[in-house]
Structure 1
Amino acid sequence: MARPTLSDVARRAGLSPTAASLILNDRPSRLSEDAAERVRNAARELGYRPNMAARSLRTKSQTIGFVSDFITLAGFGGQLIHGAMLEARKTEHVLLITETEQDPLVPQAIAESGVERSEPGVATAAINALLDRLPEGIVYAAARSQPVNVPEAARSVPVVLLNASTSGEPVCSVLPDEYAGGRSIAGLLVDNNFSDGIVIVGGSRAAIHDPASTPAVSRRMDGIFSTFDEHDIAPMAQVECPIWDSQAGYTAVKALIDSHKSFDALLCLNDRLAFGAYQALAEAGLHIPDDVSVVSFDDDPLASYLRPQLTTAALPFREMGELAVRLLLDPDAEKREYLVTMPVQLRSSLRPQN
């Protein structure tokens, strides 16, 4: 008679092999006590005995699952993964990475990325493949900072959201502190005596409460305007750009120059917009920072290679990845939002006003 397998136990209990394994190995999970009892009863009735050799091999390599949407195609995705790997290595864990290429996020984010949607069930299949390796838990990461829906398949183990949030059940989520970052960049302009000639490139104050805007954009804008309001500063123009890329930045600033309006500083909502702004200013014979100062957000790797180098608030993706793994491995971590400081990289694109 063949020796009963884990799959036999799971089938009799009406659960997946992953769920049965979590229960029989006393691993943390969110499975109900009723489900746990069904698995234990099925194991007793079948005479199931775990394969101790296989269990021994598994425990030599502790694992953490890292699930994302299409993060490998995002400019900063590598830093999130690198930070998570560094922290996992400190505790002798192995990071197992998979990507769903699906849209638990906002559908237009997928469309703008150029990624084709996968067939339904890819996310669940990817997560189940990780769960079969009995990870300590799963870091669920998004390429763009916005709300996500955690797939049901991931909820049998601890989950930490990385660069994402949820309005559902309490969970640890790690995000950049966009509000403080907005205040820091706006504060630089205030501290350097800019007031009447500031132009915001990329969005307007309406984004703070726009339901279509992501929380990251809303918080960034809220931080900017909270600082300006404190100092009675009103930007002379707010140029909205549906897509934050270099072409949009170039087009917006060229139109501003062609309107013959005089301005002193461009506050670009991300570095790619600033890259386009640099080009438009150069074509018009305007020099940075002598004629116009430029500040921005993200700290794209190219920001320090521009001439003059771009002053920008960095997205702290490596630190966020590290924190996500620390929270995942801390059983006492409070289930709430954790914000990571966006450090300002003060470079030569900013010159004080007289």
Structure 2
Amino acid sequence: MAAKRATLADVAARAGLSPTAASLVLNDVPGTRLSAEAVKRVHEAALELNYRPNPAARSLRVGKTRTIGFISDEVTVTRFASAMIRGVLDTAEQADHTVLIAETGNDLRSERTALRSMLDRRTDGVIFGLMGAKEIDVPETPPDTRVVILNGSSTTGVSTILPDEYTAGRAIASLLIDNGHRKIALIGDYREAIENPRVSTTVGHRFAGLDASLDEAGIKLLARVPSELWEPSEGYAATMQVLDGPELPTAIICLNDRLAFGAYQALQERGLRIPDDVSVVSFDDEEIAAYLRPGLTTAKIPYEEMGRQAVELLLAPSKDELHRLVPMPIIERDSVRTLENR
């Protein structure tokens, strides 16, 4: 027969106090006039009895369930953004909250089902997490339900967490410029993603940052190769196109690390050394970036920090801050050379 779960009354009886007094201690209610000795007895009794508060009863009493809903759009099924979930879980745990996770697989019906389930469980708020940053339609929620979109945006005015792509774009281009590069090519020019927030709400800002730094330095790109599929095969083909052009660049900007992987293959196949002959920079900081040789210099999408800040914004909302941009640090490795004749 299973042992009976200890109750607040059991703790109070062992500590020699009333249940009300024991509750004040265990809930850290400020301003109580209980002695330090009485507080100690309550905590010792709770430990001896292995007392665990009843979360359902507590939620009815305080009007909070201390749970957060996380509705994923392909975040849980890809290794690229697993750090986002880790940031959410760690920060929620620090705030004494539990996270309920549902995967929708980019399916609207699944999303609505997941949201209803979260609302039925009276979560204190819901985070919509996206693998690919884009503009979404948020299903209708009760006015008192906090909503944060993590790695996405909406026209409905809910809070959002996004990487600061514009600043990262400026920083990546400036890194090359500061190292003396003027003959620069770009691969991964994806017009639809730049112009349509339903495809990407961030890529346009990435390009705007790149273009701003290049324009300020008076630099015109040697080549700007289009690509909608940011995969190694496209990076390889695009780099070969650049290398077949009239002038060899001293640097190539890749719009993500997978394109850069293909660029490495093309350059090495042509007998060109990185960074001695051609420097390469990129975005995302996937695991592959650290394993490439030489290591790839890239702007990191801070998934874990974004997850942390999404929980913080959900639990401590501010009318003055609906939208947050999280800095993208530049991870400098060995793929950029400083030119001597600058």
TM-score, shorter chain, exceeding 0.5: yes
2:57 counterpart residue number: 56
In the alignment, structure 1 residue 246 sits paired with structure 2 residue 232: yes
Letter of the structure 1 residue corresponding to residue 154 of structure 2: T
* Cα offset, 1:134, TM superposition: 1.6
1:291 pairs with one of 277, 297, 309: 277
2:218 counterpart residue number: 232
State the distance in 2 between where 1:99 and 1:155 align: 24
After superposition, the C-alpha distances for 1:32-68 in whole angstroms (9 at most, x for unaligned) are xxxxxxxxxxxxxxxxxxxxx7831657962110001
Using the size of structure 1 for normalisation, the TM-score is: 0.75
State the distance in 2 between where 1:224 and 1:90 align: 38
2:274 aligns to what SS in structure 1?
Answer: coil
1:190 pairs with one of 177, 193, 204: 177
Sort the Cα spacing of 1:232 and 1:132 in 2 relative to 1 into closer, same or farther, 3 A: same
1:167 counterpart residue number: 155
1:133 pairs with one of 121, 145, 163: 121
Contact kept? 1:171, 1:335, Cα under 8 Å: no
Which stretches in structure 2 are left out of the alignment for 5+ residues? 1-53
1:316 pairs with one of 302, 309, 312: 302
1:81 pairs with one of 59, 82, 85: 85
After superposition, the C-alpha distances for 1:145-187 in whole angstroms (9 at most, x for unaligned) are 111111125766110110011112x221000000000000001
Q: Which runs of 4+ in 1 moved over 3 A?
A: 57-61, 153-156, 204-213, 258-261, 331-335
The 5 Å alignment of 1:1-354 reads 55-56=56-57, 62-103=66-107, 121-153=109-141, 157-168=145-156, 170-195=157-182, 197-203=183-189, 208-209=194-195, 214-259=200-245, 261-334=247-320, 336-354=322-340
Aligned length: 284
Letter of the structure 2 residue corresponding to residue 175 of structure 1: L
Sort the Cα spacing of 1:309 and 1:85 in 2 relative to 1 into closer, same or farther, 3 A: same
State the distance in 1 between where 2:194 and 2:328 align: 19
* Cα offset, 1:126, TM superposition: 1.1
Contact kept? 2:67, 2:97, Cα under 8 Å: yes
Q: Percent identity?
A: 42
Sort the Cα spacing of 1:54 and 1:285 in 2 relative to 1 into closer, same or farther, 3 A: closer
State the distance in 1 between where 2:162 and 2:193 align: 19
* Cα offset, 1:199, TM superposition: 0.4
1:76 aligns to what SS in structure 2?
Answer: helix
2:137 aligns to what SS in structure 1?
Answer: coil
Contact kept? 1:198, 1:265, Cα under 8 Å: yes
* Cα offset, 1:88, TM superposition: 0.3
Letter of the structure 1 residue corresponding to residue 83 of structure 2: Q
Letter of the structure 2 residue corresponding to residue 188 of structure 1: L
Give the CA RMSD over aligned residues: 2.2
2:252 aligns to what SS in structure 1?
Answer: strand
Using the size of structure 2 for normalisation, the TM-score is: 0.78
State the distance in 2 between where 1:155 and 1:97 align: 22
State the distance in 2 between where 1:178 and 1:288 align: 25
Which stretches in structure 1 are left out of the alignment for 5+ residues? 1-52, 105-120
Sort the Cα spacing of 1:264 and 1:191 in 2 relative to 1 into closer, same or farther, 3 A: same
Sort the Cα spacing of 1:204 and 1:98 in 2 relative to 1 into closer, same or farther, 3 A: closer
